[in-house]
Amino acid sequence: MKKKTVYVVGAGLAGCEAAWQAAKSGAKVRLFEMKPKKRIPAHSSDDFCELCCSNSFRAEGLSNAIGLLKEELRLMGSLIMECADKTRVPAGGALAVDREAFPKAVTEHIKANPDIEIVEKEIDTLDFDAPAVIATGPLTSEPLAEKIAEFFGSEGLHFFDAAAPTVMAESVDMSKAYFASRYGKGTPDYINCPMSQEEYDAFYDALVSAQTAEIRDFENNVFEGCMPVETMAARGRETLLFGPLKPVGLPDPKTGKTPYAVVQLRKDNAAETVYNLVGFQTHLKFPEQRRVFCMIPGLENAEFVRYGVMHRNTYIDSPGKLTAAYETVRKKGLFFAGQMTGVEGYIESCSSGFVAGINAVREEPFIFDRKTATGALAHYISNGPSTDFQPMNVNFGIFPPLDYSGRKPKKADRKEMYSLRALEIIKNTEFYRGETENDDHR
C-alpha cells in the first residue's frame, strides 16, 4: 500500500518534530528547508534546529509546566527531547544543550530516516497537493509571510510581538493590592497595586536605569506605534503618572485616598488565573523585569508566567483560525506549527510540531486532553482570547482547575498534582512509548 505523503516546510524545532512524527506515523515526508541556499540574518549554521537565542530548554521537574511538557514529549517519543537529553550540558535545575551538538544530532537523525526526503528550497505558497505543516518560525521569509497574510486576512497575522508581562493571580499579595475599575465603572475586574510617592520614585529610578535586551539588526524599527514602558518613563519622571500608572479614579478602599500611582493588572484568561501588567510592554532583559517589577507593591513575590517582549515575531491570531490539532479552520489538511501559532519557547514549538505531525497523517484529528500540557497549549492557541491574543509559554494557568475536596493543598503540591494527573492521561494514549531511560529530570 502506497504511503501517504506529507509536506513539512521549515526544519526548525517544530518542523523537524513534525516531520519525524509524520514519518513514524507511516507517511512519506518531504521536508523543505531554504538553507543553505538562502539564509536570514539570524542564521549562522546549515544544521537543522539551529538555536538562534538561548541554549536553555528551561526548568526540569514536575513542579513546573515546562518540565511537565518535556516529560510528556519524552514519554511519547519526541525526537527533539531525545536529542536534547543526549546533548545536555550542566545547568543546575534546567535542561540546557550543547549549542553545536544538539542541532547536529537532530540533523543526523532526520537525514538518516528513509521516509524523510530533504528538499533545499524556499517555499512561497500554501497550495499543496497533500497535507502540509508550515513551521517556518517567527522569522518567516517575506514571500511566504505575504501568502500567509493573504490566507488569514489583514487582521490574521501579526508581525511584531509587543506583550506585557503576565503573572499568576495567586502570587499577587492582595493585602496590598485591591480589585477596582476606574471611577467604579462596570465590575471591579482589575487588580490595582497602589504606590506611594516614595515607592514610585524608587521604582522609576530602577526602571530608567535597568538593562535592555540587545536589539538585533533584523529587529530594528519594530516599535512604531507601540512604546516600551521604559522608553515612556525616560521622557520624564511624571510621564507614567499620566499613562499606565495613572491613579485617578482608583481610590484605595483601605484608606479611601487616591494613591500617588497605580499599576493595574488585567485578567489574561477566562479562568482568571493569569493577569497581565497593563501598559508594561517592555524591552528590558528578563532578569531586570523580575528585579524592577517586583518592586511594585503586591508583586514582591510575583510568579511570572510570561515576561514582556518586543521583537520581530510573525504569528497568527490563532483563536478561531487554528484548531487544537493545529489545523487551519479554513482549509483541511493545512497545518501550522511552532512560534507562528502563538506558542512561545523551544519546547512549546516542539509540542506543536508533534501534534501537527501526527494529525497531518490521520483521517480524524487526535485532540489532546486539556489536562495535559500538550493539550492545554493546543487549546490556548485555538480557544485563547479573541482579542489581544499574545504568544504564550506553557503554564499551569491555562490548565483546567484541579478537582480536590477538603483543604486546599499547598502551591508546590498543587503543581505536582497537575503534573501527575497529566502524565496518567498521556500514559493512556496511543502515543505512549514507555518510561524514558533518563530519569535525572524527575
Per residue in 48-60, pLDDT tens?
998 866 678 988 9
CB 119 within 8 A of CB 31: yes
CB 325 within 8 A of CB 355: yes
pLDDT of residue 243: 86
Separation between Cα atoms, residue 383 and residue 233, nearest integer Å: 35
323 and 296, same structural domain?
Answer: no
Does residue 219 register a pLDDT over 50? no
322 and 292, same structural domain?
Answer: no
172 and 138, same structural domain?
Answer: no
pLDDT of residue 407: 76
319 and 282, same structural domain?
Answer: no
Separation between Cα atoms, residue 432 and residue 297, nearest integer Å: 45
Separation between Cα atoms, residue 117 and residue 241, nearest integer Å: 58
368 and 415, same structural domain?
Answer: yes
Q: Which helix (H) or strand (E) holds 56?
A: strand 56-59
273 and 180, same structural domain?
Answer: yes
170 and 132, same structural domain?
Answer: no
Give the number of domains in the chain.
2
Does residue 373 register a pLDDT over 70? yes
Q: Given 274, 307, 340, which residue is the final one in a domain?
A: 307
pLDDT digits (tens, 9 = 90+) for 231-279: 889 989 999 998 899 999 999 999 999 999 999 998 876 678 888 898 8
321 and 297, same structural domain?
Answer: no
409: confidence class by pLDDT, cuts 50, 70, 90: confident
**Which of 294, 380, 310 lies closest to 342 in space, CA to CA?**
380
The percent of the chain in helix, strand and coil, each rounded to the nearest 5, is 30, 20, 50
150 and 10, same structural domain?
Answer: yes
Does residue 179 register a pLDDT over 70? yes
Out of 53-62, 112-121, 314-323, 348-357, which region has the weakest mean confidence (pLDDT)?
53-62
Higher pLDDT, 37 or 142: 142
Does residue 223 register a pLDDT over 60? no
pLDDT of residue 221: 42
Q: Given 286, 307, 328, which residue is the final one in a domain?
A: 307
Q: Given 307, 333, 357, which residue is the final one in a domain?
A: 307
Any idea what the Cα angle at residue 372 is, between residues 366 and 378, rounded to 5°? 55
- Interval 53-78 mean pLDDT: 91
CB 285 within 8 A of CB 213: yes
Separation between Cα atoms, residue 102 and residue 87, nearest integer Å: 6
Domain that holds residue 174: 166-307
404: confidence class by pLDDT, cuts 50, 70, 90: confident
As to burial, measured by CB atoms within 10 angstroms (0-12 exposed, 13-18 middle, 19+ buried), residue 114 is exposed
**% of the chain residues with pLDDT over 70:** 89
Q: At what angle do helices 65-75 and 79-86 cross, to 10 degrees?
A: 110
Mean pLDDT of the chain: 88
> Do the domain assignments include residue 435?
no
- Interval 167-194 mean pLDDT: 90
**% of the chain residues with pLDDT over 90:** 62
213 and 142, same structural domain?
Answer: no
The domain that contains 193 carries what CATH number?
2.40.30
Alpha-carbon radius of gyration of the chain: 22
The domain that contains 328 carries what CATH number?
3.50.50.60
319 and 174, same structural domain?
Answer: no
336 and 279, same structural domain?
Answer: no
> Do the domain assignments include residue 438?
no
pLDDT of residue 222: 42
> Do the domain assignments include residue 246?
yes
pLDDT digits (tens, 9 = 90+) for 343-363: 988 999 999 999 999 999 999
Which residues are paired to 96 by β-bridges?
A: 56, 89
Does residue 441 register a pLDDT over 60? no
Higher pLDDT, 154 or 187: 187
pLDDT digits (tens, 9 = 90+) for 192-205: 999 999 999 999 99
pLDDT of residue 399: 95
> Do the domain assignments include residue 39?
yes
> Do the domain assignments include residue 385?
yes
> Do the domain assignments include residue 129?
yes
